[in-house]
């Protein structure tokens, strides 16, 4: 294999691999062994995932086409070929999605007493629906007729609209067109009032369609069809020209809704004349139109799934467990000063992390708290904790990433609230997204200052921490504390990068460190020493890392990859990747942790990271990878976490060399091994234990001999970042 010109046949297309991940989510919705309303959730997730895919990924490919970009993907496709392949695959996926809804999910919901959509209506029900329409909906509707004096209206991104065809004597064709936007101030699913269960629902667009005569009195309606437009939703920000990044992002957020249309969803029985008009004004090709036999945007079914509390329709309830040692620790700082601590979320409660930072906010010995915030959530208690810490006189620094996609508005609110509370707020590094998850706490102890560090694979978000699987790591090891201090100084003061003692940091040296470790493992194999790589990631895309893994496989290294989402590596290719195995696990919780384990010639090493192995993480983000030096924690990760997932025979799927996946099932006589269920049970056992069942090795961190905390550095003018031609990330 050439290092400079990789063979396209060795790579899976990134966009098509992502669509295969969405197919795996849809497969969970199709699984009759999954409780009914959990199946509805998976069906909803497919729809919301596709929204993001079109708003960012498809929009990016269309931008490449418009800009005459000729650069090929790693699998050898130009933008036109890639868009053609994407369109064909998405149409098949959407067809499967709606077939599943019509033929399986909706009948199952009806059998459970949940009715969706129009049914035979009695006069009483019709009167009730009309009364609701007149009182709550009619006053906010605006019928928009389309003619030379009334141009086609701007349609908001992801809004549902009704397209209306009516008879008109004014038009030569004898027909006219109108649009009514379905208001987003009201719930889309409206109770029909049938029965006493409150489980019969109508879609708001159907309610409006039934009452169009009130909106268009005297008009003869020929046809009506709901439709939905998806737009390019990515932000275009020239950070070099922005005097105030927060204000610039706010301005771009207001402009974002004017992005070009990239998809049109419409009812399958749409009038061809209306469809032709929509395609014309939105400038969409035939392949951009998704005509569906069912309600538009099944993502809104999530409200049905979350609003019905019948236990037989849901997964068995699980409460994240507060486990030793934090449950019993009167002083968590004393605990972490003696030994590293690892928590496995959501099985072990994220509240322990929140409580650790809250203790720091109120502890008179704590002098400073520094933290990175990427997705803090809509109503974050952590933000209030940081504000309280600043009010308590501590030096608090929060690096708030304003460019976290789809969380920009929430992060702007938090940034302003924190600034008003006296927190030093930094908006990130020019040209980069800060995706690392780091919290540094500086505490005065005898005989000097001690640094406590929390590092994580997931965000400081208590909501997503109940839904995503992640690993939280607490330590007072001096080397990691020094690296964390250097990292924050680098982010807030543009200092020169240090010689890192324990951390690897993107975009400085993370990719190089990963490739170096893979190459070291290959050399162990060539020398006959124990050699194995196990990596658990969300996505594997980076061409250079994939090439290094191929080389390791050819050198004799066994490589096991647990990749939840996109995987551009092709396992099992003769002479290239025969020793590489790839699995994906899609289950109740979203697999989110990033773990890297190496046999290292018989001296195993384990690293955790905020980064997936993708160019964007290595080049355009600030990311951190850190070692697990405690032998018992390291062994737990290798044996209990990684090996258990590799043996999952319920929710794991094996990847073939063509990018397809096959779901595993237990062999005859083989016990079920559903790892997420095992981790839930393990957390319950740990929570009941009177002591910490598997304590790490005590190490006794030595306080740093520092006389005082230095003042906040002045932030000089940022260095200029070279501009790159925009392409999809």
Contacts of 170 (CB under 8 A, 6+ apart): 147, 176
- The CA R_g of the chain, rounded to the nearest whole Å, is 28
Task: Say whether 454 is catalytic.
Answer: no
Q: Contact at 8 Å (CB) between 155 and 230?
A: no
DSSP state of 652: E
Local structure of residue 54 (DSSP, 8 states): I
Q: Return the number of other C-beta atoms located less than 10 Å from residue 239's C-beta.
A: 17
Distance CA 682, CA 640 (A): 10
Q: Give all strands of the β-sheet with 144-146 in edge-to-edge order.
A: 144-146, 175-181, 160-167, 221-231, 261-267, 289-292
Q: What is the dihedral of CA 31, 36, 38, 42, to 10 degrees?
A: 50
Catalytic residue among 297, 344, 345, 435: 435
Which ranges constitute the DSSP H helices of 176-236?
Answer: 204-210, 212-215
Q: Are 376 and 461 in contact (CB under 8 A)?
A: yes
With helix as H, strand as E and coil as C, how does 421-446 read? CCCEEECCCCCCEECCCEEEEEEECC
- Please check whether residue 397 is in contact with residue 423, taking contact to mean a CB–CB distance below 8 angstroms: yes
Q: Which pair of structure tokens corresponds to residue 685?
A: 């056992």
Contacts of 28 (CB under 8 A, 6+ apart): 34, 39, 42, 586, 587
Q: Where are the alpha helices (DSSP H) in 494-542?
A: 510-526
Cα distances (Å, whole numbers) of residue 313 to 192, 298, 417 = 22, 18, 40
Q: Are 392 and 365 within 8 A, CB to CB? A: no
Rounded to whole angstroms, how far apart are CA atoms 3 and 119? 62
DSSP string, 169-184: SSSTTSEEEEEEEPPS
What span, in angstroms and rounded, lies between the C-alpha atoms of 278 and 272? 10
Residues belonging to the chain: 729
Coil vs helix vs strand at 577: coil
Distances (CA, A) of 573 to 13, 540, 554, 559, 581: 16, 17, 11, 13, 11
- Kindly state the tokens that stand for 213: 């005569």
- CA separation, residue 189 to residues 100, 204, 205, 207, 311 (Å): 20, 6, 9, 10, 22
Catalytic residue list: 435
């Amino acid at each position: 294999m050439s290092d400079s010109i990789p063979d396209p046949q060795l790579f899976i297309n990134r966009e098509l691999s992502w669509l295969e991940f969405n197919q795996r989510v849809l497969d969970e919705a199709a699984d009759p062994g999954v409780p009914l309303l959990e199946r509805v959730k998976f069906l909803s997730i497919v729809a919301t995932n596709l929204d993001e895919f079109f708003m960012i990924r498809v929009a990016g490919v269309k931008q490449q086409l418009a800009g005459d970009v000729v650069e090929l993907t790693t699998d050898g496709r130009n933008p036109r070929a890639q868009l053609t392949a994407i369109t064909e695959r998405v149409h098949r996926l959407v067809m499967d999605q709606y077939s599943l809804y019509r033929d399986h999910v909706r009948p199952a919901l009806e059998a459970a007493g949940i009715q969706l959509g129009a049914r035979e209506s009695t006069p009483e029900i019709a009167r009730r629906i009309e009364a609701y329409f007149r009182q709550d909906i009619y006053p906010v509707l605006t019928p928009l007729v389309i003619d030379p004096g009334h141009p086609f209206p701007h349609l908001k991104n992801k809004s549902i609209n009704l397209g209306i065809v009516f008879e008109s004597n004014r038009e030569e064709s004898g027909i006219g067109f109108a649009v009514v936007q379905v208001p987003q101030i009201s719930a889309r699913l409206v109770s029909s009032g049938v029965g006493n269960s409150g489980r019969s629902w109508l879609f708001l667009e159907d309610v409006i369609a039934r009452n169009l005569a009130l909106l268009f009195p005297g008009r003869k309606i020929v046809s009506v069809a709901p439709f939905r437009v998806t737009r390019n939703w990515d932000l275009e920000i020239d950070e070099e020209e922005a005097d105030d990044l927060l204000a610039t992002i706010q301005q771009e957020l207001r402009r974002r809704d004017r992005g070009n249309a990239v998809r049109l969803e419409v009812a399958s029985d749409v009038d061809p004349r209306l469809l032709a008009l929509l395609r014309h004004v939105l400038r969409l090709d035939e392949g951009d139109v998704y005509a569906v036999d069912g309600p538009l945007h099944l993502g809104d079914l999530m409200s049905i799934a979350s609003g019905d509390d019948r236990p037989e329709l849901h997964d068995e309830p699980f409460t994240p467990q507060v486990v030793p040692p934090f449950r019993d620790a009167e002083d968590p700082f004393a605990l972490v000063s003696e030994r590293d601590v690892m928590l496995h979320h959501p099985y072990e409660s994220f509240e322990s992390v929140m409580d650790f930072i809250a203790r720091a906010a109120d502890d008179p010995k704590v002098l400073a708290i520094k933290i990175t915030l990427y997705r803090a959530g809509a109503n974050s208690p952590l933000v209030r904790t940081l504000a309280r810490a600043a009010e308590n006189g501590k030096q608090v620094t929060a690096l708030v990433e304003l460019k976290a996609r789809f969380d920009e508005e929430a992060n702007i609110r938090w940034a302003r609230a924190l600034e008003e509370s006296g927190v030093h707020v930094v908006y990130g590094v020019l040209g980069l997204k800060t995706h690392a998850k780091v919290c540094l706490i500086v505490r005065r102890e005898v005989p000097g200052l001690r640094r406590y560090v929390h590092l994580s694979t997931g965000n400081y978000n208590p909501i997503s921490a109940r839904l995503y699987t992640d690993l939280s790591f607490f330590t007072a090891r001096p080397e990691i504390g020094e690296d964390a201090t250097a990292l924050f100084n680098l982010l807030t003061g543009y200092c020169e990068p240090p010689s890192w003692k324990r951390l690897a940091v993107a975009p400085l040296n993370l990719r190089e460190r990963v490739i170096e470790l893979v190459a070291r493992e290959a050399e162990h194999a060539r020398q006959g020493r124990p050699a194995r790589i196990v990596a658990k990631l969300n996505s594997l895309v980076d061409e250079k890392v994939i090439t290094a893994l191929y080389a390791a496989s050819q050198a004799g290294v066994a490589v096991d990859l647990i990749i939840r989402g996109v995987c551009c590596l092709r396992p099992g290719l003769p002479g290239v990747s025969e020793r590489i195995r790839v699995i994906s696990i899609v289950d109740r919780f979203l697999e989110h942790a990033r773990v890297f384990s190496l046999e290292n010639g018989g001296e195993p090493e384990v690293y955790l990271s905020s980064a997936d192995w993708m160019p964007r993480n290595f080049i355009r983000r600030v990311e951190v990878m850190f070692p697990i030096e405690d032998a018992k924690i390291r062994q737990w990760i290798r044996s209990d976490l990684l090996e258990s997932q590799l043996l999952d025979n319920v929710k794991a799927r094996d990847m073939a060399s063509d990018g397809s996946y096959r779901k595993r099932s237990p062999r005859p006589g083989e016990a079920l091994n559903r790892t997420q269920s095992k981790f839930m049970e393990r957390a319950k056992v740990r929570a009941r234990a009177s002591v910490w069942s598997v304590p790490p090795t005590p190490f006794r961190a030595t306080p740093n001999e520092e006389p005082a905390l230095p003042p906040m550095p002045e932030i000089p003018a940022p260095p200029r970042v070279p501009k790159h031609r925009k392409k999809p990330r």
